[in-house]
């Protein structure tokens, strides 16, 4: 397990239906490299290879694992700023 200071809290917020599909929405708060951050993540249920007939807790858990995995692999960059 990583350093406890670099872990983040992922909280399920809601399930929303849009014309693009059904999304599980999460709010993430954490601390990484002495930087505190808050963000939201929306996971497409179809992209998680889940069916809407699955139990709600299974959908929430599977989408949360997908969200955390993608968030850990992401490389963030400020809009309009570039490092040379």
Q: What are phi and psi of 24, to 5 degrees?
A: -100, 125
Does 15 fall in a domain?
A: yes
Does 84 fall in a domain?
A: no
Does 54 fall in a domain?
A: yes
Sheet arrangement for strand 35-44: 8-18, 21-32, 35-44
Does 17 fall in a domain?
A: yes
Q: Report how many domains make up the chain.
A: 1
Does 83 fall in a domain?
A: no
Nearest to 40 by CA among 23, 27, 24, 22: 27
Higher pLDDT, 16 or 75: 16
Does 79 fall in a domain?
A: no
Is the Cβ–Cβ distance between 28 and 8 less than 8 Å? yes
User: How much is the average pLDDT of 17-34?
Assistant: 85
pLDDT tier for residue 25 given thresholds of 50, 70 and 90: very high
Q: Which domain holds residue 64?
A: 4-73
Does 51 fall in a domain?
A: yes
pLDDT, position 81: 65
Does 46 fall in a domain?
A: yes
pTM above 0.85, yes or no: no
User: Quick one: tokens of 8?
Assistant: 């983040």
């Amino acid at each position: 397990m990583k350093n406890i200071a670099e872990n983040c809290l992922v909280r399920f917020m809601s399930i929303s239906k849009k014309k693009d599909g059904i999304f599980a929405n999460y709010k993430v708060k954490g601390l990484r490299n002495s930087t505190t951050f808050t963000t939201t993540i929306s996971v497409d249920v179809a992209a998680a290879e889940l069916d809407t007939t699955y139990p709600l807790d299974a959908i929430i858990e599977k989408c949360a694992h997908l969200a955390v995995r993608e968030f850990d692999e992401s490389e963030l960059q400020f809009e309009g700023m570039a490092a040379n």
